[in-house]
Structure 1
Amino acid sequence: MTWLLLNTPPASAAYNMALDEALLEAVAGLERPVLRLYAWNEPAASFGYFQKIAEIEKATLLRPLIRRPTGGGLVPHQADWTYSLAFPPGHPWHALHARESYEKVHQWILRSLARLGFAAELAPCCRQELPGQCFAGYEQFDVLMRGRKIAGAAQRRTRSGLLIQGSLQPPPPSLARSDWEQSLAAVAAEAWGVEWRPLAPSAELEARVRELIAAKYARDDYNRRR
């Protein structure tokens, strides 16, 4: 089966969220899953779609604050490695319950690390330390290394598809990002028979990203709406 791979250069918080949402909207037409690998050109913090901005402002000094199209908690973005996955409706991942897809994506992360010699495990249960902060404590099926959470994710399912946004932080100091990204692709090929094809963003997709930035992600009233 063919999946699409999109590796984008470091970008602003607004651009990163807008492109992920645009991929969710476009994935049904693409008819194939998309893995996007990306980074940030500024320190920022993203927070879940349903979270309250007043609580977020008290929890972090990072700015800008950007509301994600997915749920979940507060995630700092400074030196983390981020990715997103978009699945079209009708794909087996889209049909999974949220907890099932959460476990599945983190099993993938786990195997990508193990393939490179890094031992990690999935959290068997949750441990809450600071409510609403994604990397303080952990949820069931988060990725732990030496008892500390290093990977979490958030999801959104619509009739258009499934969007998963994930972060690896802190990445192991001796691990090169390029090696991890190659390992992700290799594990998918080995486990699910995925054949990778690069995705070249269309003019329509880029135009939609600009629309979403202007209408939502660059707007204070949107990011502060709750």
Structure 2
Amino acid sequence: MAVRLIENASHRGSWNMAVDDSLLESTADSLTPTLRFYEWSAPTLSLGYFQKYADRWSHPESSDAACVRRGSGGGAIMHDQELTYSYCVPTADPRSTAVTGLFDLFHQALIRTLKNLGVTATICGNPHKNDGDAPFLCFERRSSVDVIIDGYKVCGSAQRRGRGAVLQHGSILLARSQKAPQLPGITDLASTQISSNALQKAWLQELSDALSLNFKVGQLTEAESTSAVKIERERFAAAEWTEKK
């Protein structure tokens, strides 16, 4: 199967989230999966859909960073020194029906990629449950499918289901951010410098094998870009959305 690949580019947080939502909508109609890699033009805190906006002030290091609210759940993520991906696939694809199926495929492929780059990472497995409230930051939480190095989470993903399609997006921490100094990245933990472009290139090969897919470089259609502009204006760039909870 051919999959459209939208290669790594750096954008503001509200645009990144709007494009992911636009792709979720268009995938249901086109039935063509899209894999997108992206970065963030400025350090940006993204809140999980169900988090309270006021809780962002509980993390002072990120208090002066831009803030958006994701359409997916989970804890807050400080997007800075990282590579982010999103994968939109029609629900007609049987792999999209399993809750953890796509998580496993992407995360195991990442672990093999890191091994080839000289870094040892593993799947978290059954994490110890936190007593009381979950930590504010996503990367201080643990789920069974997270990718960890020496006990620290370096990759986590979340899903959102729409009409006829599934969006999975996730973050890979490459290095420690000054906006979240308590979270080391791959470079800090493995003493190995890996650029976002190098990781993307190596991971693509593993994903191609794992998913039995061929990637074809493309870009947003005019309709998807128009939709993303509208979604950003009405949702992700609007205070009513970001501060709704």
Whether contact under 8 Å (1:80, 1:171) holds in the other structure is no
Deviation at 1:154, TM superposition (A): 1.2
Post-superposition shift, 1:193? 2.3
Work out the percentage of aligned pairs sharing the same amino acid: 26
The one-character-per-residue Cα deviations of 1:103-144 (angstroms, maximum 9, x if unpaired) are 332112212212322210000122449523211142212101
- 1:35 aligned to 2:35? yes
| 1:134 aligned to which of 117, 138, 159 | 138
- Partner in structure 2 of residue 189 of structure 1: 208
For residues 224 and 146 of structure 1, the distance between their equivalents in structure 2, rounded to whole angstroms, comes to 35
2: distance between equivalents of 1:149 and 1:56?
Answer: 20
The equivalent of 1:84 in structure 2 is 86
SS at match of 1:69: coil
State the distance in 2 between where 1:75 and 1:138 align: 13
User: 1:132 & 1:180 partners in 2: Cα distance?
Assistant: 27
Q: 1:167-215 deviations in whole A, cap 9, x for unaligned?
A: 0112434212222111121112222321111122111111111101110
The SS at the match of 1:138 is coil
Q: CA deviation at 1:54?
A: 1.5
The amino acid across from 1:203 in the alignment is: E
CA contact (8 A) 1:93 1:101 kept: yes
Deviation at 1:8, TM superposition (A): 4.3
**How far apart, in 2, do the equivalents of 1:17 and 1:192 lie?**
24
The answer to whether the 8 Å contact 1:94/1:157 transfers is: no
Return the offset for 1:159.
2.4
Deviates more, 1:204-213 or 1:166-175: 166-175
- The offset of 1:102, in angstroms, is 2.6
Aligned AA (1:152): G
Contact 1:44–1:62 (CA under 8 A) maintained in structure 2: no
Cα RMSD over matched residues? 1.7
Q: Indicate conservation of the 8 Å contact 1:45/1:63, yes or no.
A: yes
Change in CA separation of 1:63 and 1:160 when aligned onto 2, cut-off 3 Å: farther
CA change 1:79–1:62 in 2 (3 A) is farther
Gap regions ≥5 residues in structure 2: 174-184
Instruction: Give the length in aligned residue pairs.
Output: 225
Counterpart for residue 5 of structure 1 = 5
Matches within 5 A, 1:75-114: 75-97=77-99, 99-114=100-115
CA distance in 1, matches of 2:135, 2:169: 20
Distance 2:241 2:144 in 1: 31
Please list every run of 5 or more consecutive structure 1 residues that lacks an aligned counterpart in the other structure.
none
In structure 2, what is the equivalent of residue 69 of structure 1? 71
CA distance in 1, matches of 2:18, 2:204: 24
Deviation at 1:219, TM superposition (A): 0.7
**How far apart, CA to CA, are the structure 2 residues paired with 1:27 and 1:207?**
15
Matched, 1:167 2:171: yes
Contact 2:105 2:211 in 1 (8 A): no
Any conservation in 1 of the 2:72–2:159 contact (CA below 8 Å)?
yes
Q: Tell me by how many angstroms 1:225 deviates.
A: 0.5
TM-score (norm 1): 0.92
Separation (CA, whole Å) in 1 of partners of 2:110 and 2:208: 14
The list of structure 1 runs, each at least 4 consecutive aligned residues, that deviate by more than 6 angstroms after superposition, is none
CA distance in 1, matches of 2:39, 2:14: 12
CA–CA separation in structure 1 for the residues paired with 2:211 and 2:166: 18
1:26 aligned counterpart, secondary structure: helix
**TM-score normalised by the chain length of structure 2:** 0.86
Q: Give CA deviations for 1:79-117 in whole Å, capped at 9, x if unaligned.
A: 1111111111201232112x3333332112212212322
Q: How has the CA–CA distance of structure 1 residues 62 and 136 changed in structure 2, closer, same or farther, with 3 Å as cutoff?
A: farther
Q: CA deviation at 1:15?
A: 0.4
